[in-house]
Amino acid sequence: MKQKVLVIGAGIGGLTAGALLAKHGFEVTLLEASSEFGGSAGKFKRKSFLFPAGATLGMGLEPGGIHERVFRYLEKPMPLKPLETVMEMVHPGKTFVFLRDRDHHISQIFRYFPEHEKSLRDFYQEIYKTAFLVRTLMGPLPALPPANIKEWTGLLRSLRLKHGRLLPLFNKTLGQRLKVHRLDGLAPFRKMLDGLLIDSMQTDSEHVSFLLAAVALDIYHEGAYYVPGGLYQFAELMAESIQENGGMLKKRRTITKLEQNGSQWLATDQRGNSYEATDVVLNVPIQQFSSLMAPDLIAGLKKPLRTGMQTPTWTTLTLYIAVDANKLLAPLPPFRQISTGSGDSLTEGEHFFMSASRIGDLLRAPEGYQTVTVSTHSKAQLWDTKEKYDAMREILTNRMLLAIEQVIPYFRDAIVHLETGAPKGWERYTGRPNGYVGGFPQTLDNALFRSISHHSGLPGLYVCGDHIFPGGGTIGAAASGIHAARSVSGNRLV
């Protein structure tokens, strides 16, 4: 008889775990609260427009990339060409372009700071060399922090002599390395790095772990993708695979209780239906756990997980816009960051990420129209009363629209649909308490050996998603799903 596994939450983490396990022969039941798969990387429709809920920029599809490996294992390849121009980074007085080609990319940066060319060259050389070394560990993909002998052995086996070069960098921040390269005072350059890092690592260049920053600053060179329709395709493809491999997918099932019944786990949904299995992969945001499990179970969870459950993260305000592209001077590029003001703020609409569908991507919008998402980081405490909430929504919306119009003339005139995704909306549609999205900032306190393991601490209960090692983004969530699937199956799988 097939071994049963429950996967709770159809975000990228849960779907990855579920799809791998179903393909490997497990009997997978996937329970999802909403009517869509993908969570923060899902979608919703408004009339003829399709909007990505959150994630838009695809990564990990290059040969050997995390999603590519999963899709290859599922025999559902997604062959796409990487973008040569990944995004524009608009800053006061300077617009940088992230180019896929490393040499072209840094040459463009030298042009802005000719007097720092030597330091910048050395800095990028260190970034790229470090990222290359870290990437050689992504094949075996060891789980951190190692939780048992098998994971320690896996980690030690994946290490080679050359990885010794990473050791002195382990407890360094990017800020410290910038100082060594005498680039710490080069404000416009740092602001550009800050913008990239807040969106990928949830923190700035001063505080981010150097090793993770190196990967984040290098990863678009490996491949960044526009996925026709949107990243929800990842979710749909994995859901389809689960079904094809005999798994069961159940939408509109909000799990309200998770109990242990001898060696079995018992999950109960909002309608009172129960589901039993020896193994559970829990992909719901960790801040929900205390409302799902009784205090004695919570007490059995690993300490970093219990601490993480109490730790707020960023929330967001997202704008979902459809534009008539004929009213613009030119169609919008797929990806662009806009940073305003001269201050250091990377949040509250003073820095935001803007994604647009391609003209002709008819899965997203009718011919001549584009759907656009704009998202900014925000502090959850700024939204904690009705008055503050309403004011924040209005202020940030206007701030971002104003900033967009400085870069894209006639933008407001071109809008045919606009709605906002504020923290409570995120909570309602993706189950993220207080609208906490994106996972933890990848600072030295949260990253690598200090991150949260996919082993919950309770037998048969595994956790995955963007709060779990290695962290946020669809790649991070998928990697934690791979680790959960490896632990359930006892096999490497991918």
Ligand X SMILES: Cc1cc2nc3c(=O)[nH]c(=O)nc-3n(C[C@H](O)[C@H](O)[C@H](O)COP(=O)(O)OP(=O)(O)OC[C@H]3O[C@@H](n4cnc5c(N)ncnc54)[C@H](O)[C@@H]3O)c2cc1C
Instruction: Give the position of tokens 């939780």.
Output: 147
According to CB under 6 A, which one of 29, 40, 313, 442 is a site residue for ligand X?
40
Given the complex with ligand X, which of 183 and 238 has the nearer CB atom?
A: 238
According to CB under 6 A, which one of 233, 430, 442, 451 is a site residue for ligand X?
430
Closest approach of ligand X to the CB of residue 480, in Å: 7
Structure tokens that stand for 121 in this block: 């060259």
| Alpha-carbon gap, residue 105 to 485, rounded angstroms | 37
Footprint on residues 305-324 left by ligand X (CB under 6 A): 316, 318
Given the complex with ligand X, which of 61 and 169 has the nearer CB atom?
A: 61
Give the up-direction half-sphere exposure of residue 384: CA atoms within 13 A in the CB hemisphere: 6
Given the complex with ligand X, which of 29 and 288 has the nearer CB atom?
A: 288
According to CB under 6 A, which one of 142, 195, 285, 425 is a site residue for ligand X?
285
Structure tokens that stand for 178 in this block: 């910038």
Q: Is there binding between residue 284 and ligand X (CB under 6 A)? A: yes
Footprint on residues 229-258 left by ligand X (CB under 6 A): 254-255
According to CB under 6 A, which one of 12, 50, 238, 494 is a site residue for ligand X?
12
| Alpha-carbon gap, residue 40 to 11, rounded angstroms | 7
According to CB under 6 A, which one of 5, 7, 21, 55 is a site residue for ligand X?
55
Given the complex with ligand X, which of 98 and 123 has the nearer CB atom?
A: 98
According to CB under 6 A, which one of 218, 222, 427, 466 is a site residue for ligand X?
466
Q: Is there binding between residue 222 and ligand X (CB under 6 A)? A: no
| Alpha-carbon gap, residue 187 to 184, rounded angstroms | 7
**Diameter over CA atoms, the chain:** 69
Q: Is there binding between residue 8 and ligand X (CB under 6 A)? A: yes
What element of type H or E holds 405? helix 386-407
Q: Give the residue closest to ligand X by C-beta.
A: 11
Q: Is there binding between residue 446 and ligand X (CB under 6 A)? A: no
Q: Which among 243-251, 324-332, 444-452, 467-475 is the span making contact with ligand X, rule CB under 6 A?
A: 467-475
Say if CB 443 and CB 208 are below 8 A apart. yes
Query: Per-residue x/- mask for ligand X, residues 179 to 218, rule CB under 6 A?
Result: ----------------------------------------
According to CB under 6 A, which one of 5, 33, 297, 463 is a site residue for ligand X?
33
Q: Which among 5-13, 180-188, 341-349, 486-494 is the span making contact with ligand X, rule CB under 6 A?
A: 5-13
What element of type H or E holds 390? helix 386-407
Residue 242 sits at the vertex; the CA angle it makes with 241 and 246, to the nearest 5 degrees, is 115
Query: Per-residue x/- mask for ligand X, residues 366 to 405, rule CB under 6 A?
Result: ---------x------------------------------
Say if CB 87 and CB 193 are below 8 A apart. no
Closest approach of ligand X to the CB of residue 20, in Å: 14
Instruction: Give the position of tokens 């967009």.
Output: 404
Region for residue 171 given its phi and psi (left: phi exceeds 0; alpha: psi -120 to 50; beta: otherwise): alpha
Structure tokens that stand for 156 in this block: 């030690």
Spell out the residues 6+ positions from residue 240 whose beta carbon is closer than 8 angstroms to its own.
Answer: 76
Q: Is there binding between residue 290 and ligand X (CB under 6 A)? A: no
For 188, counting Cβ atoms within 10 Å of its Cβ (0-12 exposed, 13-18 middle, 19+ buried), the class is middle
According to CB under 6 A, which one of 6, 17, 19, 31 is a site residue for ligand X?
31
Closest approach of ligand X to the CB of residue 400, in Å: 13
| Alpha-carbon gap, residue 125 to 119, rounded angstroms | 10
Q: Is there binding between residue 13 and ligand X (CB under 6 A)? A: yes
Classify strands 49-52 and 43-46 as parallel, antiparallel or unpaired.
Answer: antiparallel
Q: Is there binding between residue 19 and ligand X (CB under 6 A)? A: no
* Cα 480 to chain centroid, rounded: 12
Q: Which among 53-61, 159-167, 446-454, 485-493 is the span making contact with ligand X, rule CB under 6 A?
A: 53-61
Enter the DSSP assignment of 34: S
The torsion angles phi and psi of 258, rounded to 5 degrees, stand at: -130, 120
The number of residues that bind ligand X (CB under 6 A) is 39
| Alpha-carbon gap, residue 397 to 223, rounded angstroms | 31
Say if CB 452 and CB 304 are below 8 A apart. yes
Residues forming the site for ligand X (CB under 6 A): 8-14, 31-34, 39-41, 54-57, 59, 254-255, 283-285, 288, 316, 318, 375, 430-431, 437-439, 465-466, 472-474, 477
